[in-house]
Structure 1
Amino acid sequence: MPDQEAVSRTLNELKHQKIQPVAKSPRYLLALLVAACAVILLPAAYLALITGLSSLLWVYYDYLGWKFNHIQDLMWLPLYLGPAISLATLVAFLLYPVFTTRITHLTQKVLEPKEQPTLYAFVAQLSRVLGVKPPQLISVTHEANAFAGPADGLWGMLRGKRRLVIGLPLAELLSVKQFGGIIAHELGHFSQRNGQFLVTLMRMVQSWFHRVVADENHNLERFTQRLSQEWRVIGIFIMFARALLVITRFFFVAFGAAADLVTGFLLRQMEYDADRYEARLIGMDVFTETTRELFYIQLAHELAMNELLLYVPEGKLVDNLAAFTAYHRQRISGETLRRFNQLQAETTRSLSDSHPTFQKRIENVRKAGGQAILVSEERATSLFQDFSELCRSFTSAYYRALLKEQFQPNMLHDVETLTLQRKIEHEAGQALARFYRGPLNLSSGSLRFPSRWERDKKGFVPNPLALAKQARRFFEEEQADYRRLLNQYEVLLQQKMQCQRVLLCAPFAQSEPNESKPFSHNHIEILNGQMLKVRRLIARHETRQGLLWWQRGFFFDQIGHSTWVPEALKALPNWRALLRLLNQSLPKVEQLRLVRAEVAALLEQEQADAKRNRARDLLLKQKATTLYTMTRVIVEPLLHQKLSSESGGRETDLGTLPAFHQPRHGGPREIFKAATLFIEQFHDLRCRVIGRLCLLAEHADTDAGLDPLPQPDPADAPTNVLF
């Protein structure tokens, strides 16, 4: 609930205040005149172009109609009717956008006055201070911005129905005086009714021109294509009309550019005048601070929405978008802000931009002068009834509109849980890189644990320091050899893939019969023998590694206090079991990669060779079926598994991961893409599990008094093993 005393104090501050009216600037009046002329002239030019084309048709028939009376042969009938068909098609494409203009709105939630009486009272008080009419509707959105305009487009503008849209992140992060300044800016736009009316008309005109140029007439496109296929003679004239449309679009590009220039000029002048309302309410200094902070919040919002995409594949969504934006605003470093400010200072605007630069806005409001009226330092959330619940309900509605049936309420997690999980994921990835001196290899890192984890535990008295030193000695002495063997094995596997690709495609290649082949089946046998030897050496290292990890498990529960260790120890059995299951699938994944390479070779040859080869197509379908079957064999045991969370949140059901539902039935190319996605996600899952174990081991080493492992040299990183 809002602080009623603070809210009352804020409203009382404004009760007897009123700012000096903001006079319309000469540049704004000039922009109105230019926009009014453009609103008349551009549609007139649009109609004049269509009228001119129709006049050409009238001249054609006026001339040809007299001659056609003397022509008795029906072979001249297409010449007589063709121009009419071509012109009718061309005019249809030009007029279609006028009758099918689509207006899209941001996802918004309308606030009722009885639900948010304090907010409506605050906005009404600001409207009285500014000398403008208050909005009838107030809505909220997840965007880091605020908007003001007609409630129902042009019709709402004619009826005088006004709407104010407030971005929830602004209320989350700003004080009342900063928040009130932004609201005052938007309310200032209500005093620019003529400008808003002209902007609405200009945007409608821009929409017409854009849709003509962008060729978004999909329904008309399908109709004309079907008509040209059914009536071949008509199809010739329709194609001629489409060619004329390409030429005509150059005119609409010029019309659109002119509309952009006029609209941009008018919007910039409207922003300048609205800024004066804001500056007279909160003062020059607070205006500068608020405008700069608004840019920071918009940057944080962009970062938050980008990071949100990382959670979606796992079926996890943050339950409060405003709080998530606030979290990212706090994370932006001072160096990032300094660079951002420098970029803002160097930014220039084009003639079509709707907002002036930061420096221009500051220079503009210096002329406004005046003393600050709104000085409240309270948080803007005090103006809302139960702001957190409002944010959560809006966030759920936003996801429901965006994801539709894919959204489930159990996907929502609080901000603290998700951000802690992401932080631990990052730390685990760094620990993994330190232990393996680079990224984990797809064919390695098995950590061959003893079959029974609790074996000999009763008779074994662990010495944490001795075990930590033993593990560190192994790392220093044998890790280099281990990495070398892993890279050697990957090189041999890549050679085997290439050999199988060539041998598979050799019968279908366009080459001379006596031409020698670079590979033979003996090459594969030799490579298999070499890979087996290297694999045995790798297995010895991994057995010793697994034994050391097993011994470390005896004193994981003795690690000193940490924010996540207690929950990690609860999840540890799940991690071990899941890693054992993933390691059992590694040989199958290797075979999957080999078959995937063969499918890739057949797809490449199919694309390069224009001739259809029935034997090759049958082989491609067979290999794609094998790819599908092998993927399903690996996927099935994983679908019912869970990855326990070390941050106290809910477990991640692996059945919700998109790649684990792939591939669906489809062509070879779709199955190939699905298998690639699955291999990537399988590898990512193993890295996440092993990274958590590495992070636990690092905590154990630190608790035993050992120094942290050094960061790996980028030169030690293995080659890319996925492709």
Structure 2
Amino acid sequence: MSDPSPKRVQKKRTSANPVKTDATKQKPASKKSSPATAKELTPQKILQALEGNIEPVTPTMLYRLNALLVSIVMVLLPLIYVGIIGLVIWGVYFHAVNSLGLFEVAGSASSGRARGKGMILMALVYVAPIVIGAILIVFMFKPLFSRPVQSSSRRSLKRENEPLLFMFVDRVCDAVGAPRPVQINLDIQVNASAGFRRGWLSLLGNDLVLTIGMPLIAGLSLRQFSGVLAHEFGHFSQGAGMRLSFIIRSINMWFLRVVYERDDWDERLEHLSETLDLRVSWILYLARLFIWLTRKILWVLMMVGHLVSGFLMRQMEFDADRYEARLAGSRCFAATSKRLALLGVANQGALNDLGQFYAEGRLVDNFPALININLKKLPEDVLQAVDASIQQEKTGWFDTHPATLARIASVQNEETEGVFRLKAPATVLLSNYPREAKYVTRDFYFGVFGKKIKPSELHSIDELLIRQEEEQKMHRAVQRYYQGAIYPNRPLQISEHSVQVPEDAKQCAQELKNYREKVLKHRSKYKTYVDEFREQESKSVSVNVATVTLRANIKLGGDDAFLKSLTSYDKTIKASTAIDRKKGELRIELEKYETLIVKRLERALQLFLVPKVQAQIPEAAEWERDLRDLLLTLQNTNSQIARLWELHTICTSFQVLMHFFDQMRQDEQYCEVVMTEMEKMEHLLNSIHTRFKRLPYPFEHSQADITIGEFALSRTPESNNPGDLLGASEALFENLMSLNHRALGKLCLLAEQVEKLLGLEILPEFEAKEAESDE
């Protein structure tokens, strides 16, 4: 929810119930409305249920004084910056006019040679401040004309195409006493916002635009959605308040952009300072220093603006919340708040799903529907985590929105059921919701990829969910097969050559049963070893981070006690030696269990090659066709897991280095470490990638005859681009590790079918509380 704005009203509330009595008398049935389905609702019923106005929220005198104070401060902050520019201009002018006497001093030198050197020196002393000042003035003026990047990933609706949505929005505006928007946009965000359509050009009128996130329409009830709209237009129920809110947010966003954004001018100045001769470039280095100082001044002004405006913006949110409660009810507000938090989590899950789909050349054609599916599938532990997050959330000094619990507590004082209580899906407001969802999804892809997506790249959500379910089956099969004693960077030493038709099928089946029994017998003990090994691996990553940051002369903070203890090279060496020794001991034990897994899997796959067994397995021909490719994939990815983990460790340390890039980019020691780590990363990346350039991808892909190398890395990164190289390295690691897990999972699924034919039940997924004793 966005821009708040209090309403200044003449009429005071006449009762504890914020609903006006005349509206209540006109529509008594509204208070007794029951949940309705989309089929039972007609546009007329929906609009009739929203007739009547709510009583506006009355701001206090303290609130108005605070608004006045914040207005003055927020206007002063940019003026202070302009004043600093004026001082710089005056300083350059003063120096240019009053420092000409330097040449007279140089000209009075006794000897000709000394006079010549003096003139050159004085010329540098005179010219350098003018050049530095001119560059500084240009770079200080530049933020005043900075413009935000406009997003094109939204869709504008027309009233004639969506009359019900427009009329519904108009009724909400009338109910809260806000001006009606002249334009309604749809986008993919889990949010809604109302603002001036043309920015500052619309400040003097009521030229408003409402932007609605399609996930809200997909995931909220009609009542909840009406409350969200009431909140947004509650900000705009008072003309002065909505304009003040716009000014505050615009100034804060301007400061944010100019402090952190960089453009071509910054890159050119940096490039020139680093490539020109030092006898000239020192002037540019000084200019960069003063530019850095001005940005620090901007940062201070920005933080002052956030601090001063924070209280007012939070109060505006409280007032907008009351509008929401008075329209949709206090209890509905609490439910909506939690629902929005869950939609945010589901949105992240949908983005993760999208990444998996995209890896195989496919994109879902209805992203809001994917979010909604993730919402319905959220596990209990995630729901509990969201509840805990809401309970623990605190309001900070610089926050523009209060903590959720504080907002819920505030609206409880309203004690109202609201004037609108229809609970049908909000999708009834659109004449063709699926069509609009697909249009918005395509706009979203255009914003991400910068190009139009071909229809062949878009796939129905049902098709992709079937694929996703297959992925989950493979994952669960690995968990069942390992019985919980699995760590992804422990490769299975299995070869395609070890899977041959057995000479004695009965003996092979008996060996399979024996290995399975041993797996069940020792699973708990080895689960403990796996947990210990995982802990040591985590410490290995910390040791590498400590070593790299020590080389770069970086001091780390944080709460990691082990990492903070590694304050010298001697300590990192001792820690690394101890970790390697412990990992070696654990590796011996883990290999015993992993050997059982390999032997069990090999025997099952060997039995599959027996014709009598194949005859009883569904789709045996497809399994046999894919078996060799799966084994080859597993063998090759297993051979690179140690190097992939090394690459992942380097990436982790490099990410830590990049956190200090802005403040240490001029430090030679730091830059040398960055370049060394980039070279190591690039070498490993290319070496691993080369191994897979010609190996066929074993699963279905939208691109025919794609190789594993093409799947794992879509393009070669720029070697001199740290972000590009890091992103490619992480992608290679994630894709190959995922591919290894999928290939193993599919083989485990086949092995389970063979075991089932032998009368062996498919094992349940291992849980620690059900662990059997080793003895």
The TM-score range, normalised by the shorter chain, is 0.7 to 0.9
Deviation at 1:373, TM superposition (A): 1.2
CA contact (8 A) 1:261 1:351 kept: yes
Equivalent residue in structure 2 for 1:476, among 517, 526, 531: 517
Change (3 A) 1:66 1:632: closer
Deviations 1:694-717 (A, max 9, x none): 224425545765333376799xxx
Whole-Å Cα distance in 2 between the matches of residues 135 and 467 of structure 1?
A: 74
Cα-Cα RMSD: 4.7
1:576 aligns with 2:634: no
Deviates more, 1:260-269 or 1:417-426: 417-426
Whole-Å Cα distance in 2 between the matches of residues 358 and 299 of structure 1?
A: 16
Whole-Å Cα distance in 2 between the matches of residues 340 and 467 of structure 1?
A: 50
What amino acid maps onto 1:9 in structure 2? K
1:24 aligns with 2:80: no
Deviation at 1:473, TM superposition (A): 2.9
CA contact (8 A) 1:449 1:550 kept: no
Whole-Å Cα distance in 1 between the matches of residues 461 and 445 of structure 2?
A: 15
Whole-Å Cα distance in 1 between the matches of residues 717 and 389 of structure 2?
A: 49
Deviations 1:343-362 (A, max 9, x none): 21221111221111222222
Q: Secondary structure at the match of 2:203?
A: helix
Deviations 1:163-185 (A, max 9, x none): 11111111112211111111111
1:240-639 paired onto structure 2 within 5 Å: 240-405=286-451, 407-435=453-481, 438=486, 442=491, 444-446=493-495, 448=497, 471-476=512-517, 544-551=603-610, 554=613, 557=616, 571-579=622-630, 581-582=632-633, 634-638=692-696
What amino acid maps onto 1:554 in structure 2? V
Change (3 A) 1:69 1:274: same
Residue 709 of structure 1 is matched in structure 2 by: 763
Change (3 A) 1:192 1:28: farther
CA contact (8 A) 1:320 1:414 kept: yes
1:124-273 paired onto structure 2 within 5 Å: 124-214=170-260, 216-223=262-269, 225-226=271-272, 235-273=281-319
Change (3 A) 1:107 1:680: closer
What amino acid maps onto 1:86 in structure 2? I
Change (3 A) 1:299 1:631: closer
1:643 aligns with 2:679: no
Change (3 A) 1:671 1:354: closer
Deviations 1:583-605 (A, max 9, x none): 78689x679979x99xx9xxxxx
Q: Secondary structure at the match of 2:49?
A: helix
Change (3 A) 1:165 1:686: same
Change (3 A) 1:319 1:586: closer
1:94-105 paired onto structure 2 within 5 Å: 94-105=140-151
Residue 501 of structure 1 is matched in structure 2 by: none
Taking only the aligned residue pairs, the percentage that are identical comes to 24
Whole-Å Cα distance in 2 between the matches of residues 630 and 191 of structure 1?
A: 60
Deviations 1:278-327 (A, max 9, x none): 11111222222222222222222223223322332222322222111111
1:694 aligns with 2:748: yes
Change (3 A) 1:174 1:349: same
Change (3 A) 1:2 1:433: closer
CA contact (8 A) 2:324 2:333 kept: yes
Deviates more, 1:134-143 or 1:467-476: 467-476
1:37 aligns with 2:86: no
Name stretches of at least 5 consecutive residues in structure 1 with no aligned partner. Answer: 488-533, 559-565, 601-609, 611-616, 715-723
1:6 aligns with 2:47: no
Deviation at 1:59, TM superposition (A): 4.0
Residue 51 of structure 1 is matched in structure 2 by: 86
Whole-Å Cα distance in 2 between the matches of residues 220 and 40 of structure 1?
A: 27
Change (3 A) 1:675 1:234: closer
Change (3 A) 1:573 1:644: farther
Whole-Å Cα distance in 2 between the matches of residues 672 and 257 of structure 1?
A: 31
What amino acid maps onto 2:48 in structure 1? N
Whole-Å Cα distance in 1 between the matches of residues 708 and 203 of structure 2?
A: 46
CA contact (8 A) 1:659 1:674 kept: no
Whole-Å Cα distance in 1 between the matches of residues 96 and 605 of structure 2?
A: 90
Change (3 A) 1:590 1:139: closer
Deviations 1:44-99 (A, max 9, x none): 21122122233333444454345656754533222222221222222222221112
CA contact (8 A) 1:175 1:377 kept: yes
Whole-Å Cα distance in 2 between the matches of residues 246 and 123 of structure 1?
A: 47
Change (3 A) 1:406 1:539: farther
Whole-Å Cα distance in 1 between the matches of residues 643 and 290 of structure 2?
A: 51
Change (3 A) 1:29 1:655: farther
Q: Secondary structure at the match of 1:290?
A: helix
Change (3 A) 1:544 1:284: closer
What amino acid maps onto 2:400 in structure 1? S
CA contact (8 A) 1:442 1:683 kept: no
Deviates more, 1:427-436 or 1:266-275: 427-436
CA contact (8 A) 1:27 1:269 kept: no
Deviation at 1:383, TM superposition (A): 0.9
Whole-Å Cα distance in 2 between the matches of residues 311 and 272 of structure 1?
A: 41
Change (3 A) 1:556 1:276: farther
CA contact (8 A) 1:185 1:275 kept: yes
What amino acid maps onto 1:689 in structure 2? A
CA contact (8 A) 1:2 1:386 kept: no
Deviation at 1:542, TM superposition (A): 7.7
CA contact (8 A) 2:508 2:607 kept: yes
CA contact (8 A) 1:642 1:652 kept: no
Change (3 A) 1:204 1:274: closer
Whole-Å Cα distance in 1 between the matches of residues 757 and 291 of structure 2?
A: 74
CA contact (8 A) 2:151 2:447 kept: no
CA contact (8 A) 2:179 2:206 kept: no
Deviations 1:600-652 (A, max 9, x none): 9xxxxxxxxx9xxxxxx9xx99x979x979965753251xx55249xxxx798
Residue 496 of structure 1 is matched in structure 2 by: none
Whole-Å Cα distance in 2 between the matches of residues 433 and 439 of structure 1?
A: 10
What amino acid maps onto 2:439 in structure 1? S
Deviates more, 1:131-140 or 1:420-429: 420-429
Change (3 A) 1:270 1:5: same
Whole-Å Cα distance in 2 between the matches of residues 257 and 111 of structure 1?
A: 38
Q: Secondary structure at the match of 1:373?
A: coil
Change (3 A) 1:556 1:46: farther
Residue 520 of structure 1 is matched in structure 2 by: none
Residue 114 of structure 1 is matched in structure 2 by: 160
Whole-Å Cα distance in 2 between the matches of residues 337 and 539 of structure 1?
A: 38
